[in-house]
Amino acid sequence: MKVINISVLSITSRIRAVLMLILAYAYWNLYSLVYPHLGHWSVNYTDLLLALPGTSRDFVLGLLLWTKSHALLYAFMDLLYKIGFTGVIFGVTVYLLLIDPKSAERLAKGYLVAFLILSAIFVIAHVYPPHLVYTDLPREYSPPSWQARPQFVLPSPHCTVDTLGFFALVRRKEKLSKVLALVVALIPASTVLLAEHWVWDAFTGILLGYIVHKLSERF
């Protein structure tokens, strides 16, 4: 009887985790779709950001050129960046669904909370990414789209979800979890080395991810 109850609880946790993941991802995509209307009065404070260290063209270009000068590193960083949002959101959650449904459910709730906070921030204020400020950077960047709004920069959504995924993995004892945590931990670096984000985007994204992680422990 006890085994049956545990199985039922496990199935219930998996269902809740899947539903929460779908809700979080659907919310973020819907928000991105309607953002031009919601963010119509969002304040652009890119000029204020550019007064901070680590935002000069020389700094941004130097990091990008250094990364490109190491072909394998550049290819690896490029791959990490491409999988660093949707890939991490679904990949880490599905992995946890298989081994620990409750952790998967907690992580999915964390994604939803993070998206709610990010959406509130971007409605109020935003900055633009390095490659839209310094338009001559030697890298081919994806054009702005409803799935990649140029205003969704600080805090970095990439770094926020990656931090949540990292903490969900690193606390576990499995060797595979530790390896996956290490890979996820490198993604924020890719956002900066490829000039997809400012250093400050990564820092605030990691900070937000940590705060949401601590909050999710109370869920």
Helix axes 157-170, 86-99, angle to 10 degrees: 20
pLDDT digits (tens, 9 = 90+) for 79-99: 999 999 999 999 999 999 999
Mean per-residue pLDDT, 22-31: 96
Mean pLDDT over 161-165 rounds to 97
Tokens encoding 49: 């950001």
Geometric angle at alpha carbon 51, from 141 and 67, rounded to 5°: 35
* pLDDT value of residue 8: 57
Question: What pLDDT, on the 0 to 100 scale, is given for residue 106?
Answer: 94
Average pLDDT over residues 43-60: 97
- Flag whether pLDDT at 143 surpasses 90: no
pLDDT 10s digits, 189-214:
999 999 999 999 999 999 999 999 99
Q: What is the pLDDT averaged over residues 62-77?
A: 97
**155 cis-preceded (ω within 30 degrees of 0):** yes
Q: What is the residue extent of each domain of the chain? A: 2-216
What integer is the mean pLDDT of 110-138? Answer: 96
108 compared with 9, residue with greater pLDDT: 108
Mean pLDDT of the chain: 92
Q: How confident is the model at residue 219 (pLDDT cuts 50, 70, 90)?
A: low
SS (H, E, C) 173-198: CCHHHHHHHHHHHCHHHHHHHCCCCC
Q: Are 130 and 41 in contact (CB under 8 A)?
A: no
Q: Kindly write down the DSSP assignment for every residue of the chain, as one continuous string.
A: -HHHHHHHHHHHHHHHHHHHHHHHHHHHHHHHHHHHHHTTT-EE-HHHHTTSTT-SHHHHHHHHHHHHTSHHHHHHHHHHHHHTTHHHHHHHHHHHHHH-HHHHHHHHHHHHHHHHHHHHHHHHEE---HHHHSTT-SS-PPPPBTTB-TT--SS-HHHHHHHHHHHHHHTS--HHHHHHHHHHHTHHHHHHHTTSS-HHHHHHHHHHHHHHHHHHTT-
